[in-house]
């Protein structure tokens, strides 16, 4: 219970829990061993949640990777499907594995393959909720299943972006559809921003007009005083900056270059105006 509690507190922004997690580390490890020995799978994951926060914060990735490797076969089959009867915690274990492959091993193809397996399983779980009419009222479980699907499809998109794969566009667009279904405007704004980033940075699909349109959709969904709004304005400024660079490279008239440079400057200044003051 403490593992879950500290995990939730840390994700809510309470960094003070790290000192308590450090004091509880030996207890959490003992609870983890005991739970695994007796097959108390839910309690095992609860201990892992607390340890994961501690080890990530302290940069102890190799120790965390060892703990995850030890329990992978407890929850995942050799084909990376859920072990029957342990489906409830399969998603968390797969998330551990994806993050390690993506951030620690930098094995992006492996991370994408694991994430695709996870998305396929979550999609099956969400299928009954997705089959309901668009105007149907969702109960909390249905809402959470669709939200989880949207989030995990977006994570797949992030991994594909890092690989430079154009397939990231389809992933982000799919994620946006699910998020719109549950009317989560904050999450939708982030997905539009990520889609814009894909169009801006991946050469195979580079499209400055599409990038700006996605950033503008993100901007329209942001709270007026949110820091995220500043990020959108900065990104739109970057699009105009890229237009300036391209127009200069092809020898466009000076008035064309000046128009793009002034637009970029205007958006940059708007972004700066929304930034919090320095401490």
pLDDT at 224 over 80: no
pLDDT of residue 70: 96
Pair 129, 165: CB distance under 8 Å:
no
Question: What total of structural domains would you count in the chain?
Answer: 3
19 and 91 assigned to the same domain: yes
Query: Does 227 reside within a domain?
Result: no
Pair 274, 230: CB distance under 8 Å:
yes
40 and 97 assigned to the same domain: yes
Radius of gyration of the chain (CA): 22
211 and 139 assigned to the same domain: yes
Can you tell me the mean pLDDT for 188-204? 95
255 and 199 assigned to the same domain: no
Query: Does 14 reside within a domain?
Result: yes
Query: Does 79 reside within a domain?
Result: yes
Query: Does 142 reside within a domain?
Result: yes
101 and 7 assigned to the same domain: yes
95 and 130 assigned to the same domain: no
pLDDT at 86 over 90: yes
3-state secondary structure 59-99: CCHHHHHHHHHHHHHHHECCCCCECCCCHHHHHHHHHHHHH
Can you give the pTM of this predicted structure?
0.87
55 and 82 assigned to the same domain: yes
- For residue 151, the enclosing domain spans 124-221
Query: Does 113 reside within a domain?
Result: no
16 and 97 assigned to the same domain: yes
- Whole-Å CA distances, 162 to 26, 105, 120, 156, 168: 36, 14, 21, 10, 9
End-to-end CA distance of the chain: 37
pLDDT of residue 99: 94
Query: Does 65 reside within a domain?
Result: yes
211 and 156 assigned to the same domain: yes
6 and 93 assigned to the same domain: yes
Confidence band, pLDDT 50/70/90 cuts, at residue 276: confident
């Amino acid at each position: 219970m403490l593992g879950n509690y500290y995990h939730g507190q840390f994700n809510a922004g309470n960094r003070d829990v790290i000192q308590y997690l450090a004091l509880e580390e030996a207890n959490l490890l003992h609870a983890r061993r005991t739970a695994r020995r007796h097959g108390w799978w839910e309690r095992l994951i609860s201990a892992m949640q607390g340890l994961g926060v501690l080890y990530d914060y302290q940069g102890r990735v190799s120790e965390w990777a060892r703990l995850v490797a030890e329990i992978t076969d407890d929850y995942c089959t050799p084909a990376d499907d859920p072990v029957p009867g342990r489906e409830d915690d399969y998603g968390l274990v797969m998330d551990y594995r994806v993050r390690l492959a993506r951030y620690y091993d930098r094995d992006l193809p492996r991370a994408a393959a694991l994430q695709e397996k996870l998305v396929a399983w979550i999609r099956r779980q969400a299928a009954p909720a997705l089959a309901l009419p668009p105007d149907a009222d969702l109960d909390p479980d249905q809402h959470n299943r669709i939200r989880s699907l949207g989030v995990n499809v977006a994570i797949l998109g992030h991994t594909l972006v890092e690989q430079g794969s154009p397939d990231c566009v389809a992933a982000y667009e799919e994620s946006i559809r699910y998020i719109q279904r549950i009317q989560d405007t904050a999450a939708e704004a982030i997905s539009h921003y990520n889609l814009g980033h894909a169009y801006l940075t991946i050469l195979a699909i580079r499209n400055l007009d599409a990038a700006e349109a996605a950033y503008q959709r993100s901007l329209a969904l942001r709270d007026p005083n949110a820091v995220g709004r500043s990020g959108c304005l900065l990104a739109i400024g970057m699009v105009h900056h890229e237009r300036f660079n391209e127009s200069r490279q092809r020898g466009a008239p000076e008035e064309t270059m000046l128009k793009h440079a002034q637009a970029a400057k205007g958006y940059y200044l708007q972004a700066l105006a929304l930034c919090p003051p320095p401490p």
